Amino acid sequence: MGDTGDEEKLRALIQQLNDYIEQYHGGSVEMVSFDGKVLQVRLGGACQGCPLLPATLHGWVAGTVRQFFPEIEQIESVD
């Protein structure tokens, strides 16, 4: 399962995604929790209420995370 090193790398990756989303789209993504299989993130800023939120979450955030962490089974957004 995820060890502390993996969690730190995952947190750093989410921070990179956040920096990009913030700079170019005015939104944010924040890591909420990770149990080794399920990653929970919170999308904020301009992402809240945006009709493209599911595409951002599942296409872009999940797609990027899975390139580096293929063992993650689910990526979900929480409020």
| Domain spans, the chain | 4-77
pLDDT at residue 61 is higher than 60: yes
- Dist CA 23 CA 10 (whole Å): 20
pLDDT in tens, 2-39: 467 889 999 999 999 999 999 989 999 999 999 999 99
- Find the DSSP H helices in the chain: 4-25, 53-54, 62-68
pLDDT band at 1 (very low <50, low <70, confident <90, very high): very low
Look at residue 79 in the predicted model and tell me its pLDDT: 84
Which whole number is the average pLDDT over 48-71? 93
Q: What class is the 4-77 domain?
A: alpha beta
Look at residue 3 in the predicted model and tell me its pLDDT: 60
pLDDT at residue 46 is higher than 50: yes
SS3 (DSSP) at 20 = helix
For 7, 28, 30, 32, the CA distances from 61, given in Å and listed in that order, are: 16, 11, 11, 14
